[in-house]
């Protein structure tokens, strides 16, 4: 792996952490950044995350060997359009979006003869705190990295993508875009919906502020991801709308079972439901296969 120039499109938490991790791994020789918010790019430069600021996405990717797109998913298509003419035909272009079907469609619609450059990926990492100021060189270490290469992705680009993310300490898994979006609607997107709904549901009560003040460690753990970037998660939920709605339906069914047991004062059923969830959580934490009883 000998990339000389890395272009970072989007100088936030994910992009900034990638740049720091690439430096730490020793293969990023020169990193140029572009951000729609000039203050973010300047902060990245001041922190030493990037070496230079580009005035546009097209200028950033000129002569770049590796390009990382780290922007809200609905901004992806416009970024592809802007950078495609300037992208080297043998460059590696990756995104870090939390949805994939819409990003793959955007690539087919915009990248033209540079389509072979694109290898979609999704690192399963992040923080509830947004912005380059919270970048962390170890953000991706020992984390899963989901690759969803397209049939059009170049073999050299796929191999380089694998090598790069392994150098950052990631464990690689390959899924189709369809499987990716269905899976992460369940284990990532729905939990964010629940955290947002919990905060809103409590705060909208008459004494909501007083209730929130009483929250302890368990409440902090559950609600932590409600502090996640609103624009990023607006785009994720709306672009994966059908799968998220499907998971909301499953959750409603599970919640209804709790509601019915409580209405009927059925402590036996209530304990059964809780025990099933507790056992599943324990098995998942220990790495054992989980099997639902329903």
Give the tens place of pLDDT for each residue, 155-185. Answer: 999 999 999 999 999 999 999 999 999 999 9
Domains of the chain, CATH where assigned: 5-175 (3.40.50.720), 179-263 (1.10.3660.10)
Q: Which of 113, 121, 124 is nearest to 90 (CA)?
A: 113
DSSP reduced 3-state for 90: coil
Sequential pLDDT tens for the chain (294 residues): 678 899 999 999 999 999 999 999 999 989 999 999 889 999 999 999 999 999 999 999 999 999 999 998 999 999 999 999 999 999 999 999 999 999 999 999 999 999 999 999 999 998 877 899 999 999 999 999 999 999 999 999 999 999 999 999 999 999 999 999 999 999 999 999 999 999 999 999 999 999 999 999 999 999 999 999 899 999 999 999 999 999 999 999 999 999 999 999 999 999 999 999 999 999 998 885 544 443
Q: Report whether 140 contacts 168 (CB < 8 A).
A: yes
- Give the CA distances from residue 294 to residues 80, 129, 180, 253, 264, in Å, rounded to whole numbers and listed in that order: 44, 37, 24, 12, 20
Which residues, 6+ apart, have CB-to-CB distance to 192 below 8 Å? 225, 226, 228, 233, 236, 237
> Is residue 119 within 8 Å of 96, Cβ to Cβ?
no
Helix orientation angle between 190-203 and 230-239, rounded to the nearest 10 degrees? 120
What does the pLDDT read at residue 288? Answer: 55
| Non-local CB neighbours of 254 within 8 Å, separated by 6+ positions | none
Beta bridge mates, 6: 31, 66
Q: What pLDDT does 294 receive?
A: 37
Integer Rg of the chain from CA = 21
pTM above threshold 0.85:
yes
- For residue 108, list its beta bridge partners: none
CA distance 222 to 226: 9
pLDDT, position 291: 47
């Amino acid at each position: 792996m000998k990339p000389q120039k890395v272009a970072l499109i989007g100088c936030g938490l994910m992009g900034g952490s990638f740049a720091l991790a690439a430096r730490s791994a020793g293969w990023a020789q020169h990193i140029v950044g572009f951000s729609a918010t000039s203050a973010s790019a300047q902060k990245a430069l001041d922190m030493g995350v990037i070496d230079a600021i580009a005035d546009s996405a097209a200028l950033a990717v000129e002569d770049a060997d590796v390009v990382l797109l780290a922007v809200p998913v609905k901004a992806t298509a416009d970024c592809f359009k802007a950078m495609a003419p300037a992208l080297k035909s043998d460059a590696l272009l990756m995104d870090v979006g939390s949805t994939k079907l819409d990003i793959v469609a955007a690539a087919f619609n915009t990248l033209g003869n540079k389509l072979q450059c694109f290898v979609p990926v999704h690192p399963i990492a992040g923080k509830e705190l947004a912005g380059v100021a919270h970048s962390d060189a170890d953000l991706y270490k020992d984390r899963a990295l989901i690759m969803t290469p397209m049939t059009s992705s170049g073999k050299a680009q796929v191999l380089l993508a694998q090598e790069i993310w392994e150098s950052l300490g990631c464990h690689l898994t390959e899924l189709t875009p369809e499987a990716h979006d269905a899976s992460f609607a369940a284990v990532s997107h729905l939990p964010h919906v629940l955290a947002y709904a919990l905060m809103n549901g409590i705060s909208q009560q008459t004494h909501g502020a007083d209730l929130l003040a009483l929250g302890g460690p368990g409440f902090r753990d559950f609600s932590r991801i409600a502090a996640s970037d609103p624009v990023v998660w607006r785009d994720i939920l709306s672009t994966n709308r059908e799968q998220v709605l499907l998971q909301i339906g499953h959750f409603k069914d599970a919640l209804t079972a709790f509601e019915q047991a409580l209405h009927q004062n059925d402590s036996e059923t209530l304990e059964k439901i809780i025990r099933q969830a507790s056992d599943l959580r324990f098995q998942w934490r220990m790495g054992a296969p989980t099997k639902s009883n329903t």
